[in-house]
Structure 1
């Protein structure tokens, strides 16, 4: 449904560094940038825009699609290494559905970031 999403951040350079490190295992990189913000995504398409917030941003929950459970694990490790706080280690969440494998990290502005794979384990 969404083409892209803008996320207000209080410190653009710090958030750029955090998101690039945390999302690198999912194939996300900078796709575009300018005075309006930094667009990140896969295959050169900006899907997530980081924009300077004029007021402290309200925390959001953003879930990023992972192709494999290993990518979820790598996201979690990279996000913690980038300074994120644990909000749920990688694992199955069968209360969502039997193959829901996700991990949760709180980012620099308090956003709850998740990587999720919906596929069964290989």
Structure 2
């Protein structure tokens, strides 16, 4: 199990707005922010649930190869809500909601590219 993951973005404010909207259907919200003065580098925003940030974005520009991160969704309808919210927030479709049986028979996921081109996924592993 991961404790947290983080990556750099080119525009922290734009990305905070995008992730706040895209992750809301998954029950993930902005939990805390740290300033450049606190980190000794750029500012960072931590998203999570139940008071614990586990997904961080920070100033500094996107990674050269991009990042892929997948969030667990409890139901297929939540995968669909994530995809719709992410597109509405300015994300680009990278694979609409649907089964990906090449992973396993119940793998139901959706993919979007964030404003920096990172591949963000929501996935439900439960049967319909």
Give the TM interval when normalised to the shorter protein.
Answer: over 0.9
**Given the alignment, which residue of 42, 63, 68 partners 1:57?**
63
Tell me: CA distance 1:101–1:33, structure 2 relative to 1, closer, same or farther (3 Å). same
Q: What is the TM-score when the length of structure 2 is the normalising length?
A: 0.90
Provide runs of 4+ in structure 1 moved above 3 Å: none
**Given the alignment, which residue of 73, 76, 83 partners 1:76?**
83
Residues 37-87 of structure 1 show CA distances to partners (whole Å, capped at 9, x for unaligned) of: 11100111100111101x442311111110000000000000000011111
Distance 1:90 1:64 in 2: 14
Distance 2:27 2:111 in 1: 18
Distance 1:48 1:17 in 2: 14
Distance 2:120 2:6 in 1: 14
| Aligned twin of 2:2 | 2
SS of aligned partner of 2:96: strand
Alignment of 1:38-57 (within 5 A): 38-53=45-60, 55-57=61-63
Residues 90-112 of structure 1 show CA distances to partners (whole Å, capped at 9, x for unaligned) of: 00011110000000001111001
Judge conservation of contact 1:72–1:90 (CA < 8 Å) in 2: yes
Q: What is the TM-score when the length of structure 1 is the normalising length?
A: 0.94
Distance 1:56 1:112 in 2: 12
Is there any run of 5+ residues in structure 1 with no aligned partner, and where? none
RMSD (Å) for aligned C-alpha atoms? 1.0
Aligned length: 120
The alpha carbon displacement at 1:7 in A equals 1.4
The alpha carbon displacement at 1:2 in A equals 1.9
